[in-house]
């Protein structure tokens, strides 16, 4: 994996969500992930972008979403930051709890955690930053996993 960094500053719009997903799909493909992993990475980025645009910046045209992709040390590291009030990850209800199964929202962070290897959420009064990490597995590891 060649080390490189790409960053974007995006408006708080639905188009940003689609753009973030498409950029993630393209960069994950270029980084050598297979189709299933590309889909998972792109969906995690989409969900993080939805949180940033809707819940963080609340579609405020004066607030931006920062998106960065970094390929370093065998990892694809993706950072999404908004300028909202800050998300407290401890206050997110468990979407798998029986009483929450039929809720119509609240699954975004859960899907992100399901699809990425590491997820770090840092919240402050000036916004929320979510860092997503996906490890690039070598071919030998892939064969080992497939044979198990």
Partner 1 sequence: MSMKTSTRQVDGVTIVDCSGRITLGEGSVILKDVVRELLSKGQKKILLNLGDVNYIDSSGIGELVSAFTTVRNQGGELKLLNLTKKVHDLLQITKLYTVFDVKDDEANAVKSFS
The answer to whether residue 103 forms part of the interface with partner 1 (CB under 8 A) is: yes
Nearer to partner 1, 44 or 71 (CB): 44
Q: Which residues pair with 52 in a beta bridge?
A: none
Quick check: 17 binds partner 1 (CB under 8 A)? yes
Binders of partner 1 in range 30-49 (CB under 8 A): 39, 43, 46-47
In the bound state with partner 1, the residue whose beta carbon lies nearer, of 96 and 146, is 96
* Of the residues 32, 86, 89, 95, which one makes contact with partner 1 according to CB under 8 A: 95
Nearer to partner 1, 89 or 95 (CB): 95
Binding region for partner 1 (CB under 8 A): 14, 17, 39, 43, 46-47, 50, 54, 95-96, 101-105, 107-108, 110-111, 114
């Amino acid at each position: 994996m060649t080390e490189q960094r790409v960053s974007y500053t995006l408006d708080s719009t639905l188009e940003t969500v689609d753009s973030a997903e498409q950029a993630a799909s393209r960069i994950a493909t270029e980084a050598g992930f297979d189709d299933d992993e590309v889909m998972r990475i792109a969906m995690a980025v989409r969900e993080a972008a939805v949180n940033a645009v809707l819940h963080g910046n609340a579609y405020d045209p004066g607030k931006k979403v920062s998106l960065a992709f970094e390929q370093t040390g065998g990892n694809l590291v993706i950072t999404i930051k908004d300028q909202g009030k800050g998300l407290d990850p401890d206050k997110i209800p468990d979407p798998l709890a029986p009483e929450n199964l039929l809720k119509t929202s609240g699954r975004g962070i859960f899907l992100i955690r399901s699809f990425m290897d590491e997820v770090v959420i840092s919240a402050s009064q000036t916004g929320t930053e979510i860092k997503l990490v996906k490890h690039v597995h070598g071919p030998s590891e892939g064969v080992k996993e497939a044979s198990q």
